[in-house]
Amino acid sequence: MNITALLVCCFVTALTVNAQTTSDTTQKRAVGDITGRVFTATTQAPVAGATVTVPGTSKGAITKPDGRFVVRGVPAGVVSIRVTFIGYETAIRNDVVVSSGKPVTVDIALVESTRSTEEIVVTADAFATTPQTITSTQILTAEEVRRAPGVQEDVVRAIALLPGVAVTAAGRNDLAVRGGAPFENLFLVDNIEVPNINHFGSQGSTGGPLSIINIDFVRDVSLSTGGFGARFGDRLSSVTNIQLRDGNDQQFGGELNLSATGVGLIAEGPLGNKGTYLLSVRRSYLDLIFNLAGFGFVPEYYDLTAKVSYDLDNNNSLSFLTIGALGTVSFNNDSADNRFENSRVAAPSQNQYFSGITWKHLFDQGYVTTTLGRTFTAYNTTQQDSLGSTIFRNTSDEGENSLRVDAVWIPSEDLEVNAGLTGRYASALRYNILMPGFARLNASGTPTPLRVDTSFTALRGGIYGQLFWNLASRLKLGVGGRVDAYSYLNTNVVISPRFSLSYRLDDRNTFSFSGGRYYQPPQFIWLIGDPQNGPSIDPLRADQGVIAWELRAADDLKIQVEAYYKSYANYPVRLFRPQAVLAPTGFDDITTDIPFGLEPIASTGSGYAYGVEFFVQKRLSTDIPLYGLASISLNTTRFTAADGTERPGAFDTPIIGSIAVGWRPSDDWEVSSKLRLSEGIPATPFIVSSAAAQETGFPVGSIDFRSYNADGRLPFFYALDVRADKRWFFDGWQLITYIDIQNVTGRKN
């Protein structure tokens, strides 16, 4: 479908069992509570006795021995929180949305002060960073994701607004970061490495049409697009780290979400005196809409999220998370047109879940986090011909168990040591694949059908260490590396050095440099695409460096300029398509190209990517009710495949730009808009004549790889979205409504 404009109206109702009350009899507006925890940014230790206030009101609280606090009777709306404690920088958290329906939960990290205790300095932590993320890292809060126009409250679509990130197709979450393929991106959810966090996700990649993460559960999300530290392995281009919040510890609360595409229910509250829970169930009714509209391609999905957190004592806590999704695609073949359209679609039905339990232990000078996890996806992808007969079938299971241990030790105020290990055992890799010869032609056009019915296991693991050292008051050095091992590959041990250096010119300006070597193992499905693949594919490699300048123009305003360079080696090349390296994304039709890497592959490709990014971000504050971000990226990506010719990469996007701005004139109203634009990716023509088909040996309608990425570019992309939010506050509950109009110009991208 070519959807040129989409109108979405969503209504969100938050209900609670007990109505909120306040002892302030003069307060006429509905009120709510703020609950949360204050801890040190370095050791994660709870801070007892910190003062928490809400500027502009008389409300406040003192943190308990476990660092927790409750501020009651805060006027509903958007407020700031101010936290002070002797020996630490004063922290201000803006953009806290207080609900009259249920308490809002906020975690605040305090940074140790380098100034005298007599000097009171107020600093906003709007752009707080950690030593592990010196360059190329941006952080978005859950509220910034929720209110972003055109992203449909999808956390992956929200991070696509950040610099260096291109989207391969409208309506999908296939992110191409700094010219890299979507399979080069790592996603973590509460310390669990997740292969794909999307409904109907692309097997062997990380994209899909929409995320399974409920935005109401997100605390914040960070994106590192290069130069990330030794803690992260197995990916070349980016790390998306999604942290989910805990449930509120004061009372039961619930939400009902109704939108144009689905319905969801949320429940949360305390679990005894030391625990909390969160629970969400969602169901789409896209199947009803698509059937009413007469579409032949009918998707339907459910998802469930549950999280339980429990404090054993002040130094030990446990959390359990499970997220599951069911997705099916059915065909409506009641007309000849529908049968023809459906014959061009590989339907990606799939069921998936990921689950994990995390133990966090604090000690005097640091902490240790241990996560035991499990991920599993059952794929069932089929494609039919125009008569309704199945011509392609892929029934696969991919299940993996994981153990991750991360330790942070701070022996002195000038030194931080990180170390850890990961172990992953793929205990359930099962593939049953049938592909006809006409859809799998070799380089000379000879049909080579594929029949796979196999299962195997795979073991991989890694260890890392890194230290961050304050060489001087303004100079910080980070050095370290990791070692990864793969039992199922020919090259089974790789070493990845990492380093970083930052210099703070003054309180506003910082220069930094980071980089190193990065490895990534091949996707499991590539190993069974041909009998020669398993023993011949090596881990992919990228050497990269990033240099950056950051200006904190104000506490809520920052400006960044970054330049990067990536050099690829051991990149998989396609032997049946010798002009191309392997770069799969969302797949639509097996008759135009071979899907999922189910073909002979060799690790002989090379490439490079470089570019410059400009980024400005203004966070919402109580002083100036404006917020927004703007970025522009200038990029170049080139790859050399099996034929030895250098060509633009499949995701080479020379210009990427975005601007999103919002205005909150009152606690009730908010208006925002987003403009996204980019130069088109390289185009490859199709074979459209019988003469060309006879010459190449490939049928009409297939991709003409003789002109791979050499047929100009797709048209310049742009889309303008606008949104308006309205809140109604009542005693004990609130109603949030918004209207979000996407692609208001009707641009046919």
DSSP per-residue string spanning 173-194: --EEETT--GGGEEEEETTEEE
Scored b (16 or more CB within 10 A) or e, 557-575 reads bbbbebebbbebbbbbbbb
Question: In the structure encoding, which two tokens stand for residue 623, read together?
Answer: 């002083």
- Is the separation of the CB atoms in 305 and 354 below 8 Å? no
Q: What pLDDT score was predicted for residue 610?
A: 98
At residue 544, the 3 state secondary structure works out as strand
Of residues 245 and 620, the one with the higher pLDDT is: 245
Query: In terms of DSSP H, where are the helices of 468-585?
Result: 524-527, 533-536
Which strand (E) or helix (H) includes residue 421? Answer: strand 415-435
Q: What pLDDT score was predicted for residue 28?
A: 57
Mean pLDDT of the chain: 89
Q: What pLDDT score was predicted for residue 4?
A: 35
Sheet containing strand 68-75, strands side by side: 68-75, 31-40, 104-110
Q: What pLDDT score was predicted for residue 23?
A: 37
Q: What pLDDT score was predicted for residue 2?
A: 36
Cα separation of 684 and 468, whole Å? 47
Going by pLDDT thresholds of 50, 70 and 90, the confidence category of residue 729 is: confident
pLDDT > 90? residue 345: no
- Which among 20, 17, 15, 46 has a CA at the least distance from the CA of 34? 20
* 554 CB-near residues (< 8 Å, 6+ apart): none
pLDDT > 60? residue 725: yes
Percent of the chain with pLDDT over 70: 93
Give the model confidence (pLDDT) of 226-266 as tens digits.
889 999 989 999 999 999 999 999 999 999 998 877 899 99
Cα separation of 152 and 184, whole Å? 24
Q: What pLDDT score was predicted for residue 22?
A: 35
Question: In the structure encoding, which two tokens stand for residue 561, read together?
Answer: 């300029």
Least confident of 55-69, 332-346, 552-566: 332-346
Question: Per-residue pLDDT averaged across 27-37, rounded?
Answer: 82
Scored b (16 or more CB within 10 A) or e, 252-274 reads bbbbebebeebebebbbbbeeee
Cα separation of 334 and 331, whole Å? 9
Cα separation of 206 and 523, whole Å? 11
Q: What pLDDT score was predicted for residue 624?
A: 84
CB atoms within 10 A of CB 110: 22
Give the model confidence (pLDDT) of 439-491 as tens digits.
999 999 999 999 999 999 999 999 999 999 999 889 999 999 999 999 999 88
pLDDT > 50? residue 557: yes
Give the model confidence (pLDDT) of 90-146 as tens digits.
888 888 889 888 899 999 999 887 654 444 444 445 566 555 556 789 988 888 888
Select the highest-mean-pLDDT range: 95-99, 567-571, 729-733: 567-571
- Which among 451, 433, 526, 440 has a CA at the least distance from the CA of 702? 440
Cα separation of 280 and 307, whole Å? 9
CA triple 145-150-154, angle to 5 deg: 45
Torsion 698-703-708-711 (CA) sign: positive
Of residues 599 and 23, the one with the higher pLDDT is: 599
Cα separation of 81 and 75, whole Å? 13
Which residues is 106 bridged to in the sheet? 36
Cα separation of 602 and 641, whole Å? 10
Q: What pLDDT score was predicted for residue 134?
A: 65
Give the model confidence (pLDDT) of 163-218 as tens digits.
999 987 777 888 999 999 999 999 999 999 999 999 999 899 998 888 999 988 99
CA distances, 193 to each of 235, 288, 342, 430 (Å): 11, 34, 34, 20
Eight-class DSSP state of 336: H
CB atoms within 10 A of CB 97: 18
Q: What pLDDT score was predicted for residue 635?
A: 96
Rg (CA), the chain: 26
Which strand (E) or helix (H) includes residue 463? Answer: strand 450-470
Cα separation of 299 and 289, whole Å? 10
Q: What are phi and psi of 104, to 5 degrees?
A: -95, 140
Tokens 């809520």 map to which residue?
556
Going by pLDDT thresholds of 50, 70 and 90, the confidence category of residue 5 is: very low
pLDDT > 80? residue 356: yes
- Is the separation of the CB atoms in 601 and 527 below 8 Å? no
Give the model confidence (pLDDT) of 397-448 as tens digits.
999 999 999 999 999 989 999 999 999 999 989 999 999 999 999 999 999 9
Which strand (E) or helix (H) includes residue 158? Answer: helix 155-159
